[in-house]
Homo-oligomer: A and B are copies of this chain.
Amino acid sequence: MAKRNAFYAQSGGVTAVINASAAGVIETARANRARIGRVLAGRNGIIGALTEDLIDTSRESARAIAALKHTPAGAFGSCRYKLKDLDTDRAQYERLIEVFRAHDIGYFFYNGGNDSADTCLKVSQIAQKLGYPLIAVHVPKTVDNDLAVTDNCPGFGSVAKYVATSMREAAFDVASMAKTSTKVFVLEVMGRHAGWITAAVGMAEDAATPIPLVLLFPEIAFDEAKFLDAVDARTKRFGYCCIGVSEGLQNAEGELMAEAGTKDAFGHAQLGGVGPRIAQLVKERLKYKYHWAVADYLQRAARHLASKTDLEQSYAVGKVAVELALKGHNAVMPAILRTSDKPYRWKIVIAPLTAVANKEKMLPRNFITPDGLGITAKARAYLGPLIRGEAPPPYRDGLPRYVRLRNVAVPKRLSTTFDV
């Protein structure tokens, strides 16, 4: 088979370990120089392909590529840009093939979540329709942990470790202060549609470290009375209470709690998310002093606290994506299969993109306790291995030393431009 170039792009919200997948792709491609020429990366994701703004990763040293394994976020830039179906956005898909043809791209590696799995599938389809030889492989990534087929998603384990650790630490703080000061602490976490990250907050607590916790999942309609009762009971019994709340918490009418309710004097929706809102509710109804935190990007960028399991899997899906491509597997995604809980064992299997694209894996109801406010042993058995192991970055002068790539542009070969 002729030697051809590869295209790699990062898509959607980034994670603490998505660059490890990039390293897996690039290092494995470099190990197969006989068959893969250069790996060209899309600057700011698929937009880089559409606008022929490609990055020549061969200009980066082996050391720089290796440093991606300990560097958070998207080293080539990511984007929120969804290609629609083939009929609506046909020109965009054709443009992709035009750019790929100009740069002799034979391999398309797309590193993202649900939407990008769908895009990856469609790119493979349009290539076939147009008779352009292309192998398209999706590299899974999402902190939301909602991709189908795969047991878990690269990026999730590190967020899970971060929110569990942070809640444990904050709980120690609140417990210290509760006698005369803060009694209720609220941590708002990501995961608008599925409660995987909220569930991970529950791992803060275990047999050796009991913590009075209440979790508010996006899957469980907010029941104010029940919630307040639970917080009050725990605060009375233990002196304090910690609350983990999903940014996607909804009321019984299916409205987002972060948006529902009061507006300010100018008719704007109130500032702040659901975390401060829940804290305020506790204050008004139960009169407990509160503090709240919104971790926001801190949780998904926290490479300093990445899960070693997550890091290894993130690298592995990048590596195997290239190996699958070289074996001729098209329109597939390397998926993680859990083969054993205790000891935790996993391997990579091949998932057809038709089984992944546009599916959403929800948190099973039996991961949530019957009262809707906690996690079950099943959830713990699932989550436990995913947060296990530490993989700290190198530090210099007290701070993590993260790499910034040179990101040298590939000279354009097309005279045409494309507006995105």
Contact = CB atoms under 8 A, between A and B. Distances in A.
Contacts of A204: 399
A161 interface: yes
A304 interface: yes
A115 B14 CA distance: 44
Please classify how large the interface on chain A is, using the bins under 10, 10 to 19, 20 to 34, 35 or more.
Answer: 35 or more
Nearest to A168: B399
Contact of A169 (B292, B302, B392, B401): B302
Interface in A55-83: 71-75, 77-81
B169 A400 contact: yes
Given A78-B177, A180-B79, A276-B271, A298 B206 contact: no
4 shortest A-B CB distances, which residue pairs?
A: A272-B272, A74-B176, A387-B398, A293-B296
Contacts of A398: 161, 164, 203, 307, 309, 384, 387-390
A276 B266 contact: no
Contacts of A175: 73, 77
Interface stretch (A97-105, A222-230, A257-265, A345-353): A257-265
Given A180-B79, A294-B293, A263 B262 contact: no
Nearest to A48: B179
A376 interface: no
A390 B392 contact: yes
A401 B168 CA distance: 10
A209 B403 CA distance: 8
A79 to B, nearest CB: 4
A291 interface: yes
B294 A294 contact: yes
B263 A271 contact: no
Nearest to A385: B398
